């Protein structure tokens, strides 16, 4: 299977995108199709042995649209830039069309309405003898408007003749009917003037629809202009990410610094990063120290301190100091490039909730054309004039708005995923974003997720109260060991500026501990087995050690000579935000479960500390997935939060897999959502974002349906007999334009979303 992307032009509404989706889905070997009306793109997953790029392009082209192969999204931002350029080009074209339409449309409106409202007009436009001048001038003013907006007619009529009418078809029929009727009226006026039939001249000169045709095109172009401007803002997040990538970097080669393009950087290059520079690659600091601003990627406002051995990410900014970085990931493999890819794919995907709009769009436009025809026929049968019936029919065609239906979901998805990316929350697909709002159980892994992932010293208990002496002896011994607990003790000693003493005769005692000579005295450190081997009584420290073990802590005994001098306990420390994050989830109505392979005592200790009461412990990595399945069989929508390799199956099995950004690559690949920051509050944050996006989509869909349910009967004149309400084609065009603008503007409110 391959996954390729196409640009599809000529789509004007959800009826178009639904038709493109349908015809491509029917091709042999096509597994899935996602057509994005907002971005004018289509992503197709298919079997290359059964279909190819040419077949897909030809299928779309034969349907009256234009498909162009883009390939997979280029992570360097090339295609994303092309999409941005396309959006700018569309906006510029609409701006030109709007200006031309206004220059000729406003005088047309003034001229046609001047007699009705007593506005001052030239003498040449007054009186029956000048009727032909009056009407023909309107026709001349209309022609430039039709010319600059001819795409409505070209696309609309082409789609109509191919049997897949769209929004442009409605505009073309409505505006075209008004124009053709006006031309017919010119001939009738000419005939009346030539034959002295003043009644015909008077009747037709007052029932010209050139202004309706012109204002329909002007107002809809104005609406599309506003829509394009608003849509441009929906992609600001990804555009901002793309612009974060620097164009050049300083590389040290053969001992000299040289500035090169980022495309020329290769893995292993040493980059010089000065204060104020933007990091162009993912790499490791090999020299120097600095504070680096990673807020663009993680949303974390506080700069991170970087020293030799620390990793730095592309698009982060060196705030101070001078560091040298060895490039490990370049170009399409960098963190920034992967974020751009994830956001781009998410915005191009389709949420399940959009299927309703697709189904409606498939029959919407043909139904509107039928309703418009029945409206004209109905009013003629009711005894109204042809002009009245035509006006009603045109209003029905123009007010109908499948655009709003098509934009309701993708605009909210694009803004929502973009906002999430700016906060360090990467949602891989629209489906994951939708599913997340239904989560009612959040399952957390323990090690590295709720805890920091490595042991830290929690208790120092010295026999004579001299904890500094105890730590000096312990750190001196442990410094020579590579055990994780040893690292915890040496880190604690360094933090307290405790200097280590020289050690001789160092020995590792398998299963018991370590020993060595310090200042001529034999010293040891280890577990209770070590004390037994040296025949040393633990005394009161036995109960202390047992109490610490009950709290999930590992205790080490330390001796000097034949005397026990104290114990040091270490544990995998709970993250500072863990308890607050659990409480936040509980307030959202989400049950929290701890799922770990650790022993029950350690799991219970962490559970008590963070406020989790439901704990599933001593679960083998391969069985974590089974526990997720059990929750799902109980009717729960489950989110799994993890960071390690052993979490990957559970992340994949969960309804929503959430990987902590500090986790392994395999966990991140298995997850539906990636949290770039190591902040557990973001778990509740991404669920809140999902709920906000789905609420916004529902608001948009409600408006789109409600607008048409009210607007079409009103335009058809169902309220005319009872209430005298009649909708002019011009007002119908204005209402239609505003409906799309409303939907896009409502989606833009998501840019103000806040986690807290």
Residues 6+ apart with CB under 8 A from 256: none
Same domain, residue pair 502 and 647: no
In total, how many domains does the chain have?
5
Do 556 and 526 meet the contact criterion of CB atoms below 8 Å apart?
A: yes
pLDDT at residue 667, as a whole number: 54
Same domain, residue pair 534 and 673: no
CA distance 670 to 586: 26
Same domain, residue pair 322 and 310: yes
pLDDT at residue 78, as a whole number: 39
pLDDT at residue 335, as a whole number: 80
Q: What angle do CA 126, 129, 131 make, to 5 degrees?
A: 60
Long-range pairs for 354-358: beta carbons < 8 A, 24 or more residues apart: 354/408, 354/409, 354/410, 354/430, 356/701, 357/14, 357/405, 357/406, 357/408, 357/409, 357/701, 357/704, 358/14, 358/17, 358/18, 358/21
Domain extent for 488: 453-574
pLDDT at residue 145, as a whole number: 95
pLDDT digits (tens, 9 = 90+) for 381-403: 998 888 888 888 888 888 876 66
738: which 2 tokens? 């505003």
Residue 97, in any domain of the structure? no
pLDDT digits (tens, 9 = 90+) for 123-150: 888 788 888 998 999 999 999 999 999 9
**Domain ends where: 683, 717, 746?**
683
- Which of 168, 277, 282, 445 is an active site residue? 445
Residue 611, in any domain of the structure? yes
Residue 562, in any domain of the structure? yes
pLDDT at residue 232, as a whole number: 67
Do 501 and 476 meet the contact criterion of CB atoms below 8 Å apart?
A: yes
CA distance 167 to 227: 15
Q: Which uninterrupted H or E stretch holds 436?
A: helix 430-436
Same domain, residue pair 465 and 549: yes
Residue 224, in any domain of the structure? no
Same domain, residue pair 630 and 543: no
**Which residue's structure tokens are 């090339």?**
78
Q: What is the CATH number of the domain that holds 283?
A: 2.70.150.10
CA distance 153 to 166: 11
Same domain, residue pair 653 and 719: no
Same domain, residue pair 386 and 435: no
Same domain, residue pair 462 and 539: yes
Residue 612, in any domain of the structure? yes
Burial category of 580 from C-beta neighbours within 10 Å (exposed 0-12, middle 13-18, buried 19 and up): middle
pLDDT digits (tens, 9 = 90+) for 657-713: 998 875 556 556 778 898 888 889 999 999 999 999 999 999 988 888 888 888 889
Residue 657, in any domain of the structure? yes
Residue 199, in any domain of the structure? no
Same domain, residue pair 419 and 475: no
Tell me if residue 85 is catalytic: no
**Domain ends where: 547, 574, 601?**
574
What parts of the chain have a pLDDT lower than 50?
73-83
535: which 2 tokens? 């025949």
């Amino acid at each position: 299977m391959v996954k390729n992307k196409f640009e599809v032009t000529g789509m004007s509404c959800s009826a178009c995108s639904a038709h493109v989706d349908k015809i491509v889905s029917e091709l042999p070997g096509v597994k899935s199709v996602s057509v994005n009306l907002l971005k004018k793109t289509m992503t197709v997953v298919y079997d290359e042995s059964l279909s190819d790029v040419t077949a897909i392009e030809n299928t779309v082209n034969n349907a009256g649209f234009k498909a162009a192969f883009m390939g997979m999204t280029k992570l360097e931002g090339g295609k994303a830039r092309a999409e941005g350029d396309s959006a700018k080009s569309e906006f510029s074209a609409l701006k030109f069309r709007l200006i031309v339409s206004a220059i000729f449309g406003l005088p047309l409106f003034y001229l046609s309405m001047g007699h009705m409202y007593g506005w001052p007009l030239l003498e040449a436009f007054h009186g029956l003898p000048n009727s032909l001048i009056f009407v023909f001038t309107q026709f001349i003013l209309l022609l430039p408007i039709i010319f600059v907006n001819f795409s409505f007619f070209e696309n609309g009529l082409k789609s109509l003749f191919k049997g897949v009418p769209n929004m442009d078809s409605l505009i073309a029929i409505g505006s075209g009917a008004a124009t053709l009727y006006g031309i017919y009226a010119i001939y009738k006026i000419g005939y009346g003037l030539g034959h002295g039939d003043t009644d015909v001249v008077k009747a037709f000169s007052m029932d010209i629809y050139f202004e309706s045709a012109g204002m329909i095109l002007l107002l809809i172009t104005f609406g599309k202009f506003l829509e394009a401007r608003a849509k441009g803002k929906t992609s600001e997040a990804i555009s901002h990410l793309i612009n974060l990538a620097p164009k050049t970097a300083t590389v040290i080669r053969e001992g000299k610094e040289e500035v090169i393009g980022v495309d020329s950087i290769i893995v292993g290059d040493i980059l010089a990063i000065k204060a104020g520079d933007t990091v162009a690659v993912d790499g490791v600091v090999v020299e120097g120290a600095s504070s680096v601003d990673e807020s663009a990627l993680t949303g974390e406002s506080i700069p991170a301190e970087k020293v030799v051995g620390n990793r730095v990410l592309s698009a982060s900014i060196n705030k101070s100091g001078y560091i040298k970085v060895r490039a490990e990931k370049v170009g399409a493999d960098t963190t920034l490039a992967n974020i751009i890819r994830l956001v781009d794919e998410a915005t191009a995907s389709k949420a399940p909730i959009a299927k309703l709009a697709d189904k409606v769009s498939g029959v919407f436009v043909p139904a509107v054309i039928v309703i418009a025809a029945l409206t004209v026929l109905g009013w003629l049968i009711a005894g109204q004039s042809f002009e009245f019936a035509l006006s009603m029919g045109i209003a029905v065609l123009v007010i109908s708005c499948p655009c709003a239906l098509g934009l309701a979901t993708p605009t909210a998805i694009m803004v929502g995923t973009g906002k999430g990316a700016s906060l360090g929350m990467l949602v891989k697909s629209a489906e994951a974003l939708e599913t997340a709002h239904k989560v009612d159980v959040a399952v957390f892994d323990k090690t590295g997720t709720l805890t920091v992932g490595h042991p830290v010293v929690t208790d120092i208990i010295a026999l004579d109260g001299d904890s500094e002496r105890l730590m000096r002896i312990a750190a001196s011994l442990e410094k020579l060991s590579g055990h994780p607990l040893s690292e915890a003790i040496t880190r604690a000693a360094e933090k307290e500026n405790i200097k280590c003493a020289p050690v001789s005769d160092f020995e590792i005692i398998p299963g018991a501990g370590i020993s060595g000579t310090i200042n001529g005295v034999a010293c040891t450190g280890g577990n209770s087995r070590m004390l037994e081997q040296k025949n040393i009584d633990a005394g009161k420290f036995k109960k202390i050690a047992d109490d610490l073990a009950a709290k999930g802590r590992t205790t080490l005994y330390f001796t000097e000579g034949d005397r026990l001098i104290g114990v040091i306990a270490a544990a995998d420390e709970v993250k500072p935000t863990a308890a607050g994050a659990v409480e936040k989830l509980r307030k959202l109505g989400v049950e929290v479960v701890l799922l770990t392979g650790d022993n029950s005592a350690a799991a219970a200790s962490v559970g008590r500390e963070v406020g989790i009461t439901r704990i599933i412990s001593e679960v083998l990595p391969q069985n974590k997935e089974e526990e997720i399945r059990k929750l799902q069989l109980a009717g729960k929508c489950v989110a799994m939060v993890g960071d390690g390799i052993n979490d990957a199956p559970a992340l994949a099995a969960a309804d929503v897999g959430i990987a902590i950004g500090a986790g392994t690559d395999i966990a991140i690949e298995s997850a539906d959502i990636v949290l770039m920051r190591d902040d557990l509050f973001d778990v509740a944050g991404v669920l809140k974002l999902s709920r906000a996006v789905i609420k916004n989509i529902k608001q948009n869909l409600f408006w789109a349906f409600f607008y048409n349910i009210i607007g079409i009967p009103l335009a058809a004149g169902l309220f005319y007999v009872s209430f005298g309400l009649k909708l002019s084609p011009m007002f119908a065009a204005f209402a239609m334009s505003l409906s799309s603008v409303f939907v896009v503007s409502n989606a833009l409110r998501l840019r103000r979303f806040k986690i807290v």
